[in-house]
Amino acid sequence: DAKTTQPNSMESNEEEPVHLPCNHSTISGTDYIHWYRQLPSQGPEYVIHGLTSNVNNRMASLAIAEDRKSSTLILHRATLRDAAVYYCILRLNYGGSQGNLIFGKGTKLSVKP
Amino acid sequence: ETGVTQTPRHLVMGMTNKKSLKCEQHLGHNAMYWYKQSAKKPLELMFVYNFKEQTENNSVPSRFSPECPNSSHLFLHLHTLQPEDSALYLCASSQDLQGAGGYTFGSGTRLTVV
C-alpha cells in the first residue's frame, strides 16, 4: 500500500482555519486521496476524497498539489467539535483487497477556545 | 447514529468465554468490514465481506470467527481470547468494495479480556 506521512499533532484556535498536511510521494495514478477523522470514543467518519482536482464539501476542502505528491485538508473555521484524529489515506479506485482502507497514525488536532 | 449499529458497546469477558459482537446496517451497503483498534496503534483491517462472501482475512487468529448471514448483518464470534485482544472493535460498511461513497463506521465495541 502506498504510504502517507502526517504530523503527529497540530493545534488550532477556535474559529480559525486549519490546514492539515499530508505527504504521499509514492502515490500512483489510480490512487484516490481519502480523509477520515475519528472523534474521541467514536468510529472514524468520512470527511472528503479526491483524485486530482481540489474538492469542497460541507465539512471541508481538499487541496491537491499539481504533482499529487501532497495534499492539504482545510477546515475553514475550526470548532471545538473538530478536535479529532485526522487520517489521510491513499486508496485504489477499484475493488478487491487493494481498495481497502488502510489507516496510519493520523494527526491529532487540538482546538483551543 | 451513523447508520451502522454495533452491540454491545462494552464487553468484558474471561479467556475461556465465548461471546459475539454484532453489527447491523440498513444503508443498503453490500460490503462490510471488521477493524481492530488497539491502544496507541493504527486501525487494523481484520475481515472483508462483499455480498455475504468473505473476500479477505488479514491473517487473523482463528479465535476470531466472522459470520455474515446477509448484507445487513455481520458478527464476530470470539472464543478463548487473550488479554492482548482487548481493543476497540469497529464495524464498517460501504456501497461496494470500491467504496466510492466512503466507509460508514459504527461506534465500536470496547472489549476487555480478563
Q: In chain B, which residue's Cα lies nearest the Cα of A46?
A: B102
Interface contact B59, partner A, CB < 8 A: no
Average pLDDT score, chain B: 93
Residue B74 pLDDT > 90: yes
Whether residue A105 and residue B42 make contact (CB cut-off 8 A), yes or no, is yes
Mutate to test the interface with A, among B36, B97, B104, B107 (most CBs of A within 10 A): B97
Residue A82 pLDDT > 80: yes
Q: In chain B, which residue's Cα lies nearest the Cα of A86?
A: B42
Residue B57 pLDDT > 90: no
Q: Which of A42, A46, A104 sits opposite B103 (nearest CB)?
A: A46
Residue A94 pLDDT > 60: no
At A97 the pLDDT is 46
Q: In chain A, which residue's Cα lies nearest the Cα of B97?
A: A95
At A2 the pLDDT is 59
Residue A95 pLDDT > 70: no
At A90 the pLDDT is 87
- State the average pLDDT over residues B69-76: 96
Write the CB contacts of A64 (distance below 8 Å, at least 6 apart in sequence): A33, A50, A51, A52, A53, A54, A55, A71
Residues in chain A closer than 8 A to B97 (CB atoms): 95-96, 99-100
Residue B80 pLDDT > 60: yes
At B23 the pLDDT is 98
- State the average pLDDT over residues B10-14: 96
B14-39 tens-digit pLDDT: 999 999 999 999 999 999 999 999 98
At B13 the pLDDT is 95
Whether residue B108 and residue A42 make contact (CB cut-off 8 A), yes or no, is yes
Whether residue B98 and residue A95 make contact (CB cut-off 8 A), yes or no, is yes
Mutate to test the interface with B, among A31, A38, A46 (most CBs of B within 10 A): A46
A33-49 tens-digit pLDDT: 999 999 988 999 999 99
Residues in chain B closer than 8 A to A102 (CB atoms): 45
Q: What secondary structure does DSSP assign to chain A, as a single string? A: ----B--SEEEEETTS-EEEEEE-TT--TTEEEEEEEE-TTS--EEEEEESSS-EE-SS-EEEE-TTSSEEEEEESS--GGG-EEEEEEEEESSSSGGGS------EEEEEE-
Looking at chain A, the whole-number percentage of residues with pLDDT higher than 90 is: 74
Residue B61 pLDDT > 90: yes
